[in-house]
Structure 1
């Protein structure tokens, strides 16, 4: 039986005191849904509400039961371990446990879904990190917190924070004796405009968890989407790791510069990483890179120059891995732990992805092509140039003209430009809210057999693998 992992200085160590490097990925759009991962528009709760209305309760329940069952099996765990990966990050939605109409009760069925994947991983020697990816009101301004607005209202309402503190306490009770759970990631990518409320919340979470579980590591994301630790205390929270997210601009369709591993480009990669771990280095605490990885070109999205684009993205992945191999904040040349985003999807970032011949892709192809042309995915957005030119550019130009320049950075997060906020409100929120109904219509007349086939598109035996990416991961250490 393995013992608990813990933190010693800048290292995560096993029960015998020897350093261990957690190498892994996030599971994908399984217990938390994101629009680009599985292909819907907007936000998970809106998507499921529309599907329920169109499909009816019986077919809705049947489809989601099959989807949850097929998405992660022992075959996934076996393959994951074969990639030389030893830790799975499991993003989950708070709505698996909490009903928005009554935050006072925790639904035990949420544990059944989490337990299956935790236990499956344990059977294959894989640690897990439990990642609460959404909270009531949204911990940040973006779609992946299942937030249907562009404001992070979690920070405004004490009742939201109280129920999440209580939820984590019950999760800790449930897993307190499970040594294959590496630890708890209390909140993905928080974005508190005041900064200090996040630190206060982490203090509450730590106290609540430690009342019932003294052993598990806490993986604490920095503020402003796991990038800003300037308000974190110099004395780290005990037995905790600071979690950064280290995405590179070179890895996205919007990038105007093709990555070719020049000395200048590698220097920029390193500088971006060094900036994110600066506080951890000063505080002498451990770092976990909880998310990173490029978006790949795909024939399923009718991308151009697929081989050229993906060759550059694999090169980028190789160079980032090289940084993490000597990336310990102590500067002693030891590697840091990391979790690539992500394991399974429909062809954007996954180590594995569905097949172009799958029922999911064949049935939804007209929808997926429309969604891509409209630019409804902020992550990897690649809009039809004519739509961008005729519809959104005039609006963005108008905003630029009427807003005094000194106010262009008045809204938080200041890393977003005015155009980002316009896209968020008009496309990611409003247009997607309407078009969630069009997505749902694709499920209206499907039989139970067809629904089973749709869900089975995500079964391990039906997936395709990114062999070059897998090669880089296998050979890292």
Structure 2
């Protein structure tokens, strides 16, 4: 490696001006926890607070130290590179660097966690994109920003934004000379109801980063969950890539239509992609699809018709890859860069996943079954039909009945239905904040040896591979 990646027109290029396509995945629930990835309920901070109280500090610290160590090692980097993937997106929680009680102090331990992964990837020729997945108050309304409400309060408080500008200035100073860091993803899936505050933030964070680091690319997510660039300035930010997220409803358990690859379905996939890159074409900047990918059925979750469902999901994934193969916004038929969601989990989307024979699955099985039946994971929600019919559907029917139709789309984001908000508040927030204590109880009486075995469930040596998915990604280039 002799230099930094940079932007040239709609291409990302190497130091010698050779175009490069970044192909990869996100490390997922490692330095930022998400409930469906590892199996807890609700939000990361609630989960850890409950676990700390139940386990005590010594065991709590021991478990998380082992978890962070085992989740990503050189063996993961070696395998990642062998999959013909050259870029790892690293989601991280701001609380590794900032204490919400004092947002002015940067904790250096955050760099130790990030450095381990960045340096491991570099040893195997893998670029990294540093993705800030959470901020104080939440940059969006959902669980993956570790937001325990359904409001994105980050946009309401200047002090929150100031603290993140300062954090990014420190991160940029730390990595400014690292050529294996492809760039910085300042906010995952921002959702600013006013739209303009996001642009003000990007303008400020770009200036702050450039004061200490003139070289690294900025990967800027569109507003409303990386889908809307209509408020972005006409003149693009220098050395920046615009990042979309391109999930398809066909790829989720709640989809009412099975994807079979009909011309109509393929046309819908293409329209969705082209709609998201309309402004990117006008701005003449590269597009990076920072997240995409279906949820797969699994016998571990007691899903039915696993083979047929996953055959449909693999077809969907292949057809999306075909779009990205010629999706360059310049229209020259070149490929775009992408990062599939995700690398490792407990069996939903990962290229790899925890084994059903692992300590993690064996010990948490009763809890995971209960969580599934209650539909506590919005991402892979597949509620027990009787619970859905008798508990949640009457509430949803009531809301729809008493709220005039013209008001049902008043709340932002308007892409959410009224029923989505009900699930968010009742299940993802309220019910989960009680049941996270039940999850924590599973760790109460475990010995240090057992806690080590739990964490080791995520070690590369112990995980399973989703071979068909991996092969499709290998064959893309």
TM-score range, shorter chain: over 0.9
- 1:256 Cα deviation (Å)? 1.1
CA offsets, 1:154-186, max 9 Å, x none? 000000000000000000000000000000000
The number of residue pairs the alignment matches comes to 477
Distance 1:274 1:54 in 2: 49
- Confirm or deny that 1:107 pairs with 2:111: no
User: Contact 1:7–1:286 (CA<8 Å) still a contact in 2?
Assistant: yes
SS of the aligned residue for 1:24 comes to strand
Within 2, Cα distance between the matches of 1:2 and 1:111? 24
- Do the aligned residues in 2 keep the contact of 1:91 with 1:133 (CA within 8 Å)? yes
Question: How much has 1:2 moved relative to structure 2?
Answer: 3.1
Mapping for residues 240-255 of structure 1, pairs under 5 Å = 240-255=240-255
- Measured against aligned partners, the alpha-carbon deviations of 1:107-134 in whole angstroms (never above 9, x if no partner) come to 0000000000000000000000000000
Check whether the contact 1:139–1:190 (CA below 8 A) recurs between aligned residues: yes
Distance of 1:235 and 1:471 partners within structure 2: 40
Deviation, structure 1 residue 261 = 1.0
The answer to whether the aligner puts 1:213 opposite 2:182 as a matched pair is no
* 2:235 aligned partner: 235
User: Does 1:182 pair with 2:182?
Assistant: yes
Tell me which residue corresponds to 1:152.
Answer: 152
User: Whole-Å Cα distance in 1 between the matches of residues 28 and 146 of structure 2?
Assistant: 15
Partner of 2:428: 428
Instruction: State the shift of 1:235 in Å.
Output: 1.1
Distance in 2 of aligned mates of 1:5 and 1:359? 42
Does the aligned pair in 2 maintain the 1:24–1:338 contact within 8 Å? yes
Give the Cα separation in 2 of the matches to 1:355 and 1:250: 26
Alpha carbons 1:196, 1:231 under 8 Å: kept: yes
Mapping 1:42-191, distance limit 5 Å: 42-191=42-191
Q: Which residue of 1 aligns with 2:199?
A: 199
| Cα distance in 2, alignment partners of residues 305 and 394 from structure 1 | 29
Residues 1:290 and 2:287 are matched in the alignment:
no
Shift of 1:258: 1.0
401-410 or 188-197, larger mean C-alpha shift: 401-410
Looking at structure 2, the residues matched to 40 and 456 of structure 1 have their Cα atoms a distance apart, in angstroms, of 17
Query: Take 2:424 and 2:208, find their aligned partners in 1: how far apart are those partners?
Result: 35
Match of 2:277, SS state, is helix
Superposition deviation, residue 257 in structure 1: 1.1
Q: Does 2:301 align with 1:301?
A: yes
Give distance in 2, aligned partners of 1:167 and 1:351. 31
Equivalent pair of 1:2/1:180 in contact (CA under 8 Å): no
What's the offset of the Cα at 1:285?
1.1
Q: Match for residue 347 of structure 2?
A: 347
Unmatched 5+ stretches in structure 1: none
Give how far 1:286 is off.
0.8
Q: Which residue of 2 aligns with 1:356?
A: 356
Residue 454 of structure 1 corresponds to which residue in structure 2? 454
Unmatched segments (≥5 aa) in structure 2: none
**How much has 1:364 moved relative to structure 2?**
0.3
Q: Deviations over 1:58-91 (max 9, x none)?
A: 0000000000000000000000000000000000
Q: Write the distance in 2 (CA, Å) between the matches of 1:153 and 1:383.
A: 30
RMSD: 0.5
Alignment-derived partner of residue 441 in structure 1:
441
Distance between the aligned counterparts of 2:91 and 2:283, measured in 1?
27
Instruction: Supply the distance in 2 between the matched residues of 1:36 and 1:55 (Cα, whole angstroms).
Output: 22
The residue aligned with 2:330 is 330
Q: Distance in 1 between matches of 2:28 and 2:236?
A: 30
Q: Does 2:470 correspond to 1:475?
A: no
Q: After the TM superposition, which parts of structure 1 deviate over 4 Å for at least 4 consecutive aligned residues?
A: none
Partner SS, residue 164 of structure 1 = helix
* Partner SS for 1:392: helix
Q: TM-score, with normalisation over the residues of structure 1? A: 1.00
Structure 2 equivalent of residue 403 of structure 1: 403
Q: Which residue of 2 aligns with 1:25?
A: 25
Q: How far apart, CA to CA, are the structure 1 residues paired with 2:284 and 2:5? A: 18
How far, CA to CA, are the matches of 2:168 and 2:69 in structure 1?
24
- Cα distance in 2 for residues equivalent to 1:234 and 1:369: 50
Q: Helix, strand or coil: the match of 2:235?
A: coil
Q: Distance in 2 between matches of 1:380 and 1:441?
A: 24
Report the alpha carbon displacement of residue 149 of structure 1 after superposing the two structures with TM.
0.2
